Chain A
């Protein structure tokens, strides 16, 4: 049941966005999120869409993938649009069917929010589409490193994220194995009364945890045997490099934000 799942959303490529440093991309996306929330006029939104198209052209990602990423949020967008269209009672009446009356202000407000959500999803999806999880983890590690003196284990968190990613397929295999083994012993996971089903559930949960703890221990012993001793003085094979391209992109986003500020009402 898990075979068809693709791990991660990252699409390898050689575009401008792909070549940017993960840190500058993270910074730019956070700025863009603030800018999207700041915007409150139609002219501002027009400019934002122009910016979004520009970023899209720089990313070299096929539109198909962006559409796919947007789908889960689409229901939310439609739902909020309907909510606004039905409940906001401002402006002229457009249509009136039975108890429902559609006001001009409601439709406008609904479209406004729908655009905002679409933009937010667009910018955030583009980040994870053009940046590999490994680069993002490294970037997070570097961003958190100054917080070390407050007790935030930056290096350890990054390593734990990598281990967790590696554990997922292993644990999925383990789960399937246990499901099969317990089915052979007569456990039924898909039908039966509440009592029988809960027994089957416990029969899955307990061996899964015991096996998982065993695996964790093996890995920890292996790490200790190889002399792992934390982040101090460790070197990296892949280094993040901040280039002119990153400074230019960040500066562009800041200037864009300042321009949009004047379009506020």
Chain B
């Protein structure tokens, strides 16, 4: 994988934006699941940088958090995040960014509906992986007993899910504008098409 300096800087930029998005609405925690802007930034990473670089940005974000920089939600960080049941969401951002980017790359001239479809598929992946990880983390790490059921985890995720559906719609609405602004103003896409 050959990376140009600009690619590298943009990947780092989105990794940093994830860290900020995770904490911009800090201290709002519902039932152990912090409310963050991370899913949106992950989708935007996919749609603005493309699938490959978007996914790489999420990998860099995850590693930055694991070495101890407090970039995860609630200003947490460090290797102990691996123990947390919500770590699956951090993992799923990689696939979210990749899929969102892939769908948008597929179209020559992405329009608003494309951004909407791509973003919501990204969100669906995010929640499917994140919630399943949480379920199995409780089952295996915490060895949850019989009374802990599959539907319980999903009931738990309803509040954050509603928030994320609203935010995703907003981000998808803003994405074409950002896409065009960045394409027009920067040498980034000029280099890319050249």
Q: Which residues of A contact B (CB under 8 A)?
A: 5-10, 29, 33, 69, 72-73, 75-76, 79-80, 83-84, 86-88, 106, 109, 113, 116-117, 120-121, 124-125, 127-128, 131, 133, 136-137, 140, 151-153, 156-157, 159-165, 167-168, 171-172, 175, 194, 198, 201-202, 205-206, 209-210, 212-217, 219-220, 223-224, 228, 230
Do B69 and A167 touch (CB < 8 A)?
no
CA distance in complex: A234, B67 (Å): 23
What would be 22 A-B contacts, judged by CB atoms less than 8 Å apart?
A7-B69, A9-B77, A33-B82, A73-B80, A80-B142, A83-B144, A124-B80, A124-B83, A125-B78, A128-B68, A128-B78, A156-B8, A161-B12, A164-B13, A168-B19, A171-B20, A198-B170, A202-B174, A209-B181, A212-B17, A213-B188, A217-B6
Do B20 and A109 touch (CB < 8 A)?
no
Do A213 and B32 touch (CB < 8 A)?
no
B44 contact set on A, CB distance < 8 A: 209
Which 8 pairs from chain A and chain B are nearest by CB?
Answer: A87-B147, A163-B12, A167-B16, A128-B68, A128-B78, A220-B6, A124-B79, A164-B15
List B residues 132-191 near A (Cβ within 8 Å). Answer: 138, 141-148, 166, 170-171, 173-174, 177-178, 181-182, 185-188
Say how far A145's CB is from chain B's closest CB, in angstroms: 14
CA distance in complex: A161, B69 (Å): 10
A79 contact set on B, CB distance < 8 A: 32
Say how far A196's CB is from chain B's closest CB, in angstroms: 13
Do B182 and A213 touch (CB < 8 A)?
yes
User: Is B74 located at the chain interface by the 8 A CB criterion?
Assistant: yes
A72 contact set on B, CB distance < 8 A: 74, 76, 84
Do A219 and B147 touch (CB < 8 A)?
no
CA distance in complex: A73, B85 (Å): 10
Do A80 and B20 touch (CB < 8 A)?
no
Stretch at the interface among B58-66, B98-106, B110-118, B123-131: B58-66
Say how far B70's CB is from chain A's closest CB, in angstroms: 7
Do B170 and A113 touch (CB < 8 A)?
no
For the complex with contacts A109-B145, A198-B170, 9 further pairs of A-B residues with Cβ separation under 8 Å are A7-B69, A29-B79, A87-B146, A128-B80, A153-B1, A163-B16, A168-B19, A210-B182, A216-B12
Do B84 and A73 touch (CB < 8 A)?
yes
CA distance in complex: A89, B145 (Å): 9
Do A160 and B83 touch (CB < 8 A)?
no
Say how far A60's CB is from chain B's closest CB, in angstroms: 17
Do B187 and A165 touch (CB < 8 A)?
no
CA distance in complex: A5, B69 (Å): 11
Say how far B169's CB is from chain A's closest CB, in angstroms: 9
User: Is B11 located at the chain interface by the 8 A CB criterion?
Assistant: yes
CA distance in complex: A223, B11 (Å): 15
CA distance in complex: A214, B61 (Å): 20
CA distance in complex: A72, B76 (Å): 8
Contact of A128 among B4, B10, B12, B79 (CB under 8 A): B79
Contact of B70 among A5, A29, A109 (CB under 8 A): A5
B15 contact set on A, CB distance < 8 A: 160-161, 164, 167
Known contacts A168-B19, A202-B170, A202-B174, A153 near B3 by CB under 8 Å: yes
B144 contact set on A, CB distance < 8 A: 80, 83-84
User: Is B121 located at the chain interface by the 8 A CB criterion?
Assistant: no
